Chain A
Amino acid sequence: MRNFYGEVLSQAEQLALPEAEEVEGLDQEIAVLRVRLKRALEEHPEDVTLIGKGLDLLVKAVAARYRLSPKAKRELAEHMEGVFRRMSETFLSPVDREERNQDG
């Protein structure tokens, strides 16, 4: 990844790249878009095109944030079940865990 994009990134951007790789989801991007949209509304309330583009970007980002493919949905459900089972070891007594396993 770093080699592929390295040539087009500035030195400062290359330093920020590892940190960017750690970010998950789109929450921060959506928050930044909201802040920029607010600024656009404050500073250029007459620029309908600019505000429209900002809104369009925000809507797409929010939609993407909540859209999962069927495969991803299945994987997420399996992961939730896995987390629940691991947490059950803390929150349920051995008898309750057995009881729940029998209930399915």
Chain B
Amino acid sequence: MASVVAARWPVSGLPILRPYQEEPARAIIDSVRRNRGLTFTVVMARQAGKNELSAQLELFLLLASAYHDADAVKCAPTFDPQAKISIRRLRARMADAGLSDAAVREGDHIIAIGRARQIFLSAEPGANVVGHTANLLLEVDEAQEVESEKFDREFRPMAATTNATTVYYGTPWDDSTLLEQAVQANIEMARHDGIRRHFHYDWMVVAEYNAAYALFVEGERRRLGETHPLFLTQYALKVVSGGGRLFTPTQRAQLQGSHFRQHQPKPGETYVAGLDLAGQNWERPGDFQPKGRETTLQFLLSPAQSFRPQRPFCKSRS
């Protein structure tokens, strides 16, 4: 019989997951199997294989639940392209595993095996998503781009009836994102109960398994500089406090002077002006196209007085 089966449906050709993908995968599956209802955060450098991990998790759960009525939900900041990319990845893995004949599509956003369904939804502000239940798993793709309010109001309750496991995937941006809030909550909870819920793999971890990736990211580090917000967030996985500003809130506080605002220079004093020639403003995380705002004169110091940073008397121009 085995040879007959192998002839009709090829032997599983799924890509082998790397150790840094296996680690969160096992923790997530353990939580699903034991109905622990944990919330996980999986933060990986760009192109490290978050989508691959997610697609294989989905396929495994569909197979495990094929004989039960079970729904898993994955939301993404947009349906096209982000959710569609996830749908394509899952279908590709089904084909790799010789399971195309087992998969049934319902509409353009559901893939089912037997009685288990994987539902893909948009988390865009206007998307109508209420009514679904995630009794198997709730995943949030690119969680740094999903609005917290939308998620908490419309997606989070989907996991309520079965206390389903939730997974946030993404790369950092600033400390206000849905992803970063979940990361901080997970780190805090681990301090109390010792359960690991947060998984973090920067580019150096990925580079251990992929020499070409290491070369590429090294090139990006040289090209952008290792303090560039793009490199910091997408590869080094550092949260950029203040959303990409040059100075952190602490540094900006230190620059505040205690003198009164001056509207004219004092005769005989020397002043130093700070210029930000390439100030950029990104409207949302992951959008790296400058929106045209250029900040020119940032601050003005008077070293002749005491060389202490002074309160700026020229405001930045937006």
Residues of A that sit less than 8 Å from B by CB = 24-25, 27, 66, 68, 72, 75-76, 78-80, 82-84, 86-88, 90-93, 96
Report the bound CA distance from A79 to B98 in whole Å. 8
Is B29 in contact with A79, judged by CB distance below 8 angstroms?
Answer: no
List 9 A-B pairs, minimum CB-CB distance, nearest first.
Answer: A79-B9, A84-B63, A91-B29, A83-B97, A87-B60, A83-B12, A91-B60, A86-B12, A75-B5
Residues from chain A with Cβ under 8 Å of B113 in the complex: 80
Interface of B is mostly: helix
Q: Which B residues between 10 and 49 are near A, CB-CB below 8 angstroms?
A: 12, 14, 16-17, 22, 25-26, 29-30, 33
A75 to B95 CA separation, bound complex (whole angstroms): 16
- The complex places the Cα of A79 from the Cα of B101 at a distance, in Å, of 11
CB distance from B240 to the nearest CB of A (A): 34
Is A92 within 8 A of B14, CB to CB? no
Cα A87 to Cα B62 with chains together (Å): 12
| B residues less than 8 Å from A75 (CB atoms) | 1, 4-5, 8-9
CA distance A86 to B14 in the complex (A): 10
Chain B residues contacting A79 (CB-CB under 8 Å) are: 5, 8-9, 98-99, 102
A76 touches B29 (CB 8 A): no
The reply to whether A84 and B60 contact each other, CB–CB distance below 8 Å, is yes
Interface string of B136-173 (1 = CB under 8 A from A): 00000000000000000000000000000000000000
In terms of DSSP, what is the predominant structure of the interface of chain A?
A: helix
Listed A/B pairs (27) with beta-carbon separation below 8 Å: A72-B8, A75-B5, A75-B8, A76-B9, A79-B5, A79-B8, A79-B99, A80-B66, A80-B99, A80-B113, A82-B5, A82-B12, A83-B12, A83-B97, A84-B63, A86-B12, A87-B12, A87-B14, A87-B60, A87-B63, A88-B60, A90-B25, A91-B25, A91-B57, A92-B29, A93-B26, A96-B33
Compute how far the CA of A83 lies from the CA of B5 in the bound complex, rounded to whole angstroms: 12
Name the A residues within 8 Å of B57 (CB-CB): 91
Whether the pair B101, A87 counts as a contact (CB closer than 8 A) is no
Q: Which residues of B contact A24 (CB under 8 A)?
A: 95, 100
- Determine the distance from Cα of A51 to Cα of B246 in the docked complex, in whole angstroms: 63
Chain A residues lying within 8 Å of B14, measured Cβ to Cβ, are 86-87
- Interfacial chain A residues near B16, Cβ < 8 Å: 90
Cβ of B103 to closest chain A Cβ, rounded Å: 10
**In the complex, what residues of B have CB within 8 A of residue A66's CB?**
104
Chain A residues contacting B63 (CB-CB under 8 Å) are: 80, 83-84, 87
CB of B122 within 8 Å of the partner chain: no
Docked-complex contact A87 and B30, CB < 8 angstroms: no
Check B56 for interface membership: any CB of A closer than 8 A.
Answer: yes
CA distance A83 to B101 in the complex (A): 14
Chain A residues near B104 (CB, 8 Å)?
Answer: 66
A82-B26 Cα distance, complex, nearest whole Å:
19
Q: Is B64 an interface residue (CB 8 A)?
A: yes
Does B59 have its Cβ within 8 Å of any Cβ on chain A?
yes
Given contacts A75-B1, A86-B14, list 15 more A-B pairs with CB under 8 A: A27-B100, A68-B101, A75-B5, A76-B9, A79-B5, A79-B98, A80-B63, A80-B66, A83-B97, A87-B63, A90-B22, A90-B25, A91-B26, A92-B29, A93-B30
Q: Are A76 and B102 in contact (CB under 8 A)?
A: yes
With the chains together, A68 CA to B219 CA distance in Å? 52
A93 contact set on B, CB distance < 8 A:
26, 30
Q: Please, which residues of chain A bring their CB within 8 A of the CB of B8? A: 72, 75, 79
- Chain B residues with CB under 8 A of A83: 12, 63, 97-99
Give the chain A neighbours of B17 by CB distance below 8 A: 90
Cα(A71)–Cα(B104), bound, Å = 19
Give the one of A66, A76, A79 with max B CB within 10 A: A79
